[in-house]
Amino acid sequence: MNKHLRMIIGLCTTVLLFQTVLLGESMFDKSEYAARRAKFMDKIPDGAAVFLGAIIPPDGSEFYQNNDLVYFSGVEIPNAVLVIDGKNRESTLFFTITEKEADSEAIPLELIRNPKEYTGIERIQTAERLPMFLSTLSLDSPVFYTMYRPGELIPDNTNETYRAWQRGITMNIWDGRLTRELQFVKQFKKKFPFVELRDCSRLVWDLRKFKSPKEIEVMKEAGRIAVAAHAAVINSTRTGISENDLAALFEYVCKKEGAQGLAFNTIIMSGKNHAYGHYHKHDRVLEDGDFLILDAGPDYGYYNIDVSTAFPANGKFSPRQRELYELAFLVRKICQDNYRPGITLQSVGQKVREHLISQGIDPDNPQVRGELRSGGYNHSVGMATHDPMGSFSREEPLKPGFVFACDIQVIYPEEEVGIRLEDTIAITEDGYINLSEGLPRTVAEIEALMKTDGIIQSLKKSGQY
């Protein structure tokens, strides 16, 4: 296949994916969701699992389905409930919504009119029938499963949300409320005291740990959007520009390119804020000599990309900035040169250590020591930016479908300088794919890009800024 044909096929794929998101349809064929449900049934042969869909936000903000219901069904109907029965090898979707209500949420009307055919789910019932269905099913299945951890919404992570909820609400003596999921657990146990209810969170996380080829194709498109948005911000950065303007530009480009939202609140660190790992107040105006970290990514079709870039506000690296940047860039390169199936992250870190010693660089430098120990790994990436996993060890051989953040950091807060070079990596059968490939990464590439006018400069020249 020649390169021009590959480019045409790639463009067609991008257009089709973009159209799918715009039309509000599922990202995958119903067979993909059926295969996921079948794998989950294998994990619960003794019972059935209940998955709660997201509710319409009470604050009037845009509705998004939670990740677990999307993962197993692709259905974006508010208040839907999915029951996956491992004992009888079938699933039942519960929802009640009018065509007018569905149309107002951009839900395909064909899903409402012919849900069984549209979704491939064996049984469809109205939401009102759920209590009776569970009561009848409990006579045959004395074991039930559900998610004890909170449902993930953009830009949530279930474990981080759970910890924040516990600290600020559940353990608060003036509050004490449970998460929606734990409230369901409490009510379920009250209604069905003879049924054993188990937490299936880790069973789901084990499935989500490895992405299918189709999931990685979607994440490639998310990566393309991330690269476009990061490059636009680097291109427009100048002294005298506010961080708030740059954050707005990043979100604009992401949505212009087809993202449904941001994977997480855009992080911009400069000046004294390099001391804080996830600073997102956007409250500085850039000064000469400032160095920035932009840590940001889009959500595309419920899949996230996590990318960090680092660059000087004035477009020219100082000798010290260049020294630190090139150290981080070297560690990044060695890590990525060694990613492949079968190798452990611990082994990757050892290879980096050996290479640094051969170059006369101290591998015990506290600024890079953490990256060496973890082989550049920071966290899994998928439907959540910090994708939860049932189990993981840096001594575990990498396998195809594992997607993670290679995150190299060299931070000197006392010098108000921080370098963060983060890519989203997908392990393949014969190596890996850098899903954020195409970013300006070398000093020369960054400086060259920053010499040209960006979107903000073009707007200024036209009098629209």
Give the pLDDT band (50/70/90) at residue 392.
confident
Mean pLDDT of the 72-92 span: 97
Q: Which residue segments constitute the domains of the chain, with CATH numbers given?
A: 3-208 (3.40.350.10), 213-461 (3.90.230.10)
Check residue 120 and give its pLDDT: 97
Mean pLDDT of the 431-445 span: 98
- Residue 367 pLDDT > 90, yes or no? no
- Residue 249 pLDDT > 60, yes or no? yes
Contact in structure between 202 and 421 (CB atoms under 8 Å): no
Give the pLDDT band (50/70/90) at residue 19.
very low
- Residue 5 pLDDT > 60, yes or no? no
Mean pLDDT of the 370-391 span: 91
- Residue 289 pLDDT > 70, yes or no? yes
* Count of helices and strands (H, E) across the chain: 17, 16
Give the pLDDT band (50/70/90) at residue 372.
confident
- Residue 301 pLDDT > 50, yes or no? yes
Q: Which of 29-33, 127-131, 143-147, 358-362 has the lowest mean pLDDT?
A: 358-362
Burial (CB count within 10 angstroms: exposed 0-12, middle 13-18, buried 19+), residue 102: buried
Give the pLDDT band (50/70/90) at residue 25.
low
pLDDT digits (tens, 9 = 90+) for 176-208: 999 999 999 999 999 999 999 999 999 999 999
> Average model confidence (pLDDT) for the chain?
93
Check residue 456 and give its pLDDT: 97
Higher pLDDT, 356 or 16: 356
For CA atoms 396, 397, 398, 400, give the dihedral sign.
negative
Look at residues 198, 201, 83 and name the one whose alpha carbon lies nearest to residue 135. 83
Burial of 325-348, coded b for 16+ CB within 10 Å and e otherwise, reads bebbbbbbebbbebbbbeeebbbb
Q: Which of 10-24, 31-45, 52-66, 420-434 has the lowest mean pLDDT?
A: 10-24
- Residue 34 pLDDT > 90, yes or no? yes
Give the pLDDT band (50/70/90) at residue 368.
confident
Mean pLDDT of the 378-386 span: 97
Tell me how far CA of residue 315 lies from CA of 20, 189, 244, 286, 342, in angstroms. Answer: 38, 61, 19, 12, 41
What whole-number percentage of the chain has pLDDT above 70?
95
Question: If DSSP codes are grouped into helix, strand and coil, which group holds residue 341?
Answer: coil
pLDDT digits (tens, 9 = 90+) for 52-78: 999 999 998 899 999 999 999 999 999
- Residue 284 pLDDT > 80, yes or no? yes
Tell me how far CA of residue 36 lies from CA of 33, 300, 404, in angstroms. Answer: 5, 20, 21
Q: How many whole angstroms separate alpha carbon 427 and alpha carbon 262?
A: 24
Check residue 227 and give its pLDDT: 98
Provide the whole-model pTM: 0.93
